Structure 1
Amino acid sequence: MSMNHASLLGGFADPVFDTQAVFRAVMDAMARPGLLQTMDRPLAPPAPFGEAQGAIALTLCDHDVGVWLSTGLAKSPVGAWIGFHTGARLVEEKSACQFAFLEAGTTRLTFNAFALGSQDYPDRSTTLVLELPSLTGGPELVLRGPGIKEQVVIAPCGLPESFLLQWQENHQQFPRGIDLILTSGRDLIGLPRSCTISLKES
């Protein structure tokens, strides 16, 4: 992880105000699963990090947080950028991270490889932040659960293989399990472990 020009630039213009705004948006997204949020804070993270991914990293990561990066992100200046702006440390073991960031095009993803928390400490789990080509235009998925009135339909494009099966297994472990934030560019959708996800019937 070398420190270069790309690692130093592209942070928030007003870190205090911007992180507060992003924090509220992320908390609202997790409290209301399926609700699309758009980051409106100016930010220019290094490629291939999306703007929403970068905003989440700068807002929720600090020197106490372990961050895992997928292969494409680990080979880029993203790790150095996160480290410089937040003080977070990179970890190689998926089970040792509080946040995991994955680039667009990730085709295989094993939820159980990450920290799932325990019955006594379910908060000691990983939050996955997955970049997708788009949060619209894909197969329609139905969300149900806390924070949702009856149901919400989303249609993210480019989810990894076996996503629905893995999510079902993840939900069944509640209150343990991972939380997931889907991002695409400046947009994000929160998928807490408490919600169920199924394919919409045609």
Structure 2
Amino acid sequence: MSASALRLVLATRNPGKIRELRGILADIGLDVELLSLDEFPAIGDIPETGLTFAENALIKAHAVASATGLPAVADDSGLCVDALSGMPGVFSARWAGGHGDDKANLDLLLAQISDVPDGRRGAHFACAAALALPSGTERVVEGTMSGAIIREPRGTGGFGYDPIFVPEGGPRTLAEYGAEEKNAISHRSRAFRPLASIVAELLRAM
């Protein structure tokens, strides 16, 4: 199979993730036709029933590979706060109850650790990126980015918990980073870049 004929489904409808993976794959010289779930409207929401980021990423990747008959890549990511014993973790997107309510999630988290002193507000973002082939072959790569939680949101970029997370080395929050600058150090990039090399190896062997 020629590189130009390769097709890969990214198990998301998030255009930002599509752009990011397309750039990573281009960086390693793999020419693929990258599809999103928008092109498969019959695929509904995939329940994330795993207890780890890796489990959820694999659930999504296998479900999409099975439904489309094409190799699929999925990720699951979240914020892990030391003072909350690693929570919200896999529940990051629905920490306040509703899925994807960034402000409610952020406000609840800040309230929960309001009494935690500055020196004990460590946290990290984690991401698991998974590849699943229709044959059942699977691979998972995980990446993390360490930092700390500040007391008040700062910055207008990014999304989710970015306005309260300062990566190691500070002093800016992720919401104060430019998109390319953030992608160079992010947990998602640290998972997707090594996975992209695995994608290239496995797809070229098909």
**TM score, norm. by length of structure 1:** 0.26
Q: Which has the higher helix share?
A: 2
**TM score, norm. by length of structure 2:** 0.25
| Larger radius of gyration between Structure 1 and Structure 2 | 2
